[in-house]
Amino acid sequence: MDENLIYMILGIIATIIVGYYGIKYTSKQKNKTSLLYFENSCISLFKSVVRDLDELEIRYKGTTVTENLISYKGTFFNSGNVDIDKNLIHKPLNIILPENYEWKKVKIIDKSEGINISFTEQPDKLEFSWDILKENEFFTFDSVIEYKPIQNSDSKFENWKITSNLSNKIDFTQRITNLKSIDKEFIPTKPKSILKQVILSLYLFAFAIFGLYLSAGQFVFPDFKTIYEVKIDSTYSYVTLENENENLMNLINLEGDKIKELSVNEINHNILTGKIKTQKDDLSYWGLIGGGILAALVLFILITITNNYISDKNLYNKINQIADKYDSGGIKDISLPPKLNLPFD
């Protein structure tokens, strides 16, 4: 078999292999089970509102609250592309409070249309159940949590760290098929700007074009070399000339083999017939194989990054719409009566 054909086949095979694994990787990414949790708000009612107003008291179910109460909202969002139904759930989703915190009241305040959500409440955990949570569907719960400080504890912790401790140490348990863990974020990070994405895409695209130039470019933009007719021992043949040093030149036949080494004067006066012609350069098989693999890999990376950017952008916009509903945004103006009754009362 012709050597050129062998190298060409190897290049095609290498490209097919890279393409196969690229498609396989993309196929795996298509089936992604993911559950995102983000905190809408975590506000210490007792410390933020009551401590500076001696005449104000919080009452819960008719009883004055003298400990720390926290208003806490959170959202679960199916950020994957697989519907999470009962068949995938071997142990329901549980949200676990840190030590010294207790749920006092919980209710579902928002959810995607058609979802049936139920929960079981215990002092230190909530267990959520649903029939099916489809892609991009969500539910939001509101709650009141009581913090019971340890006797003789550090007052600084009670004053300013009560909410951050809750946010950092709240935990989850579940046994859902292909769901390794819950993605916990306050609010997902905003994707980079479209300008940065375009610059990155152009940068990768330039590498892909370079790879295509090294491989397919050899057929589209071939290089040519000049060959000379020579007469050696009464035999006429065409050769290329390569410098060995300042005074010597090598005669290279069309197969690439060195056939003779002569001085410049000998070549000029003895063997050159004066006939020249051009010939297309042989293919660079390293360029064909390496360039093809480079182009395939970079194009695959470019497509993957672009697809992920679009997915992340859409996900961020959807979650932001949900988060904006319950954004506390701080307290701009407070005008309170002497008694504050909780909405769960």
Q: List the one residue out of 79, 95, 41, 72 whose CA is nearest residue 319.
A: 79
Tokens 């926290």 belong to 70
Report the mean per-residue pLDDT for the chain.
Answer: 78
pLDDT value at position 318? Answer: 85
Section 142-156 average pLDDT: 73
Residues 309, 34: Cα–Cα separation, whole Å: 17
pLDDT level of residue 19 (50, 70, 90 thresholds): low
Phi, psi torsion values for 243, nearest 5 degrees: -75, 130
Span 61-109, pLDDT tens digits: 666 665 578 889 999 999 888 999 999 999 999 999 999 999 999 999 9
CA atoms within 13 A on the CB side of 328: 15
Please, are residues 156 and 121 in contact by the beta-carbon 8 Å criterion? no
Locate all alpha helices (DSSP H) within the chain, ordered by sequence: 3-30, 45, 155-160, 162-169, 194-214, 217-220, 264-266, 285-325
Domains in the chain, CATH or no CATH each: 31-186 (2.60.40), 224-280 (no CATH)
Mean pLDDT computed over 259-274: 79
